[in-house]
Chain A
Amino acid sequence: MDLLSLKALNAERRQRRAAILLTELTSGTDRIIREEDAVAGELGEAVRKAFRTGISSVVAADGIGYFLTVALPKPRLVVIGAVHISQALAPLARVAGFDMEIIDPRTGFATAERFPDVPLHADWPETVLRGRSLDGYTAVAALTHDPKIDDHPLKAALDAGCFYVGALGSRKTHAARVERLRAAGATDTQIARIHAPIGIDIGAVSPQEIAVAIIAQIVQALRSRGLDAVAGRAA
């Protein structure tokens, strides 16, 4: 393994960026592939699949044997709103492998008693998100129904290329939200990326069922990331 490859791979991992260490098994030579790098042919297909699944594997491409060491950042879920659905979402997120945190300026909602195992930020999203960067391996779910709380993080999530952006609310609520986000400078492509009404359609009624629908939609978004997500981030 080339020392520079090792350093480059670790640097990408520390920055929460996806990377693949591509090792040619016969010669032992290797190089780093980043998500935005164009790779042609059979190898390119294997590389794109590896970035989607995160699974390391041996690949034979164009008569050459390679090993792909795939390093994807651990996916995060930032929930706006310390509400009932968020309480149900917390254990589901943990089981599904997401690091979840909650932002809600309403101190009555964001209490450790209601959320014993979740990092809580009882402050405005614009304040909390200023110090930390949203990224392509972060999902944002806005669940307060309150434009004063939800709108800013939604726009920030779209600008950061978060792999999932979802917002609770009826179609009517969402139509009004779209107008506000447009006024704030969101493009049509960005607005089309918002999942609203939130969650896959399983006829969910209770907060717990809505949480199941949301986590399923987030997993779907994570595992169908592809060229679209990369293009969205570049835009």
Chain B
Amino acid sequence: MGETSAASEPLDPLFMAEDWLANGRKVAVATVIETWGSAPRPVGSHLVIDADGNFHGSVSGGCVEGAVVTEALDVLADGKPRLLEFGVADETAWRVGLSCGGRIKVYVEMVA
């Protein structure tokens, strides 16, 4: 996450997550926890997802968000965190991988 300023508050995924929860929505947080090669978003980047599949933030340049949202719905259904990995070495890369050639690990958890 690095350095934050209050000025960017409306766009900040973790502030958004708190707002969503206050409105009674179920929320999962996805976090980039490791990267290799030319990953588009740095470690600590967040994507927040609600049970309807709405999301805010990013964990890549748009390459794998769809897959992360799908996994997040499962996380919200059973409450168990998941560790996802995306990259060119991955067989799924052809479908939802990172075209930049990087590899990322994303931790998805429910806020409860």
Alpha-carbon distance between A69 and B44 when the two chains are bound, in angstroms: 6
Residues in B3-17 with C-beta less than 8 Å from chain A? 3-6, 9, 14-15, 17
Which residues does B use to contact A, with CB under 8 Å?
1-6, 9, 14-15, 17-18, 21, 29, 31, 33-34, 42-44, 80-81, 83, 107, 109-112
Report the minimum CB–CB distance from A159 to chain B (whole Å): 23
B4 touching A73, Cβ below 8 Å: yes
A69 touching B31, Cβ below 8 Å: yes
B18 touching A7, Cβ below 8 Å: yes
A99 with B44, Cβ < 8 A, contacts A1-B109, A6-B111 known: no
A and B contact pairs by CB, cutoff 8 A, 27 listed: A2-B112, A3-B111, A6-B21, A6-B111, A7-B18, A9-B14, A13-B15, A14-B6, A14-B9, A23-B107, A25-B107, A28-B80, A28-B81, A54-B3, A55-B44, A56-B2, A56-B33, A56-B44, A58-B33, A67-B33, A67-B107, A69-B44, A71-B1, A71-B2, A73-B3, A74-B3, A99-B5
Report the minimum CB–CB distance from B106 to chain A (whole Å): 11
Alpha-carbon distance between A2 and B110 when the two chains are bound, in angstroms: 8
Q: Which residues of A contact B81 (CB under 8 A)?
A: 28
When C-beta atoms are compared, the residue in chain A nearest to B33 turns out to be A67
Residues in A4-29 with C-beta less than 8 Å from chain B? 6-7, 9-10, 13-14, 16, 23, 25, 28
Which residues does A use to contact B, with CB under 8 Å?
1-3, 6-7, 9-10, 13-14, 16, 23, 25, 28, 54-58, 67, 69-75, 97, 99
Alpha-carbon distance between A99 and B21 when the two chains are bound, in angstroms: 31
Partner of B110, one of A1, A13, A14, A25: A1
A13 with B4, Cβ < 8 A, contacts A25-B107, A28-B109 known: yes
Known: A6-B14, A72-B2, A72-B3. 13 other contacts (CB 8 A): A1-B110, A7-B18, A13-B6, A14-B9, A23-B109, A25-B33, A54-B3, A55-B43, A55-B44, A56-B1, A71-B2, A74-B3, A97-B3
Q: Which residues of B contact A72 (CB under 8 A)?
A: 2-4
Report the minimum CB–CB distance from B112 to chain A (whole Å): 6
- Residue with the highest number of chain B CB atoms closer than 10 Å, among A6, A14, A57, A74: A6
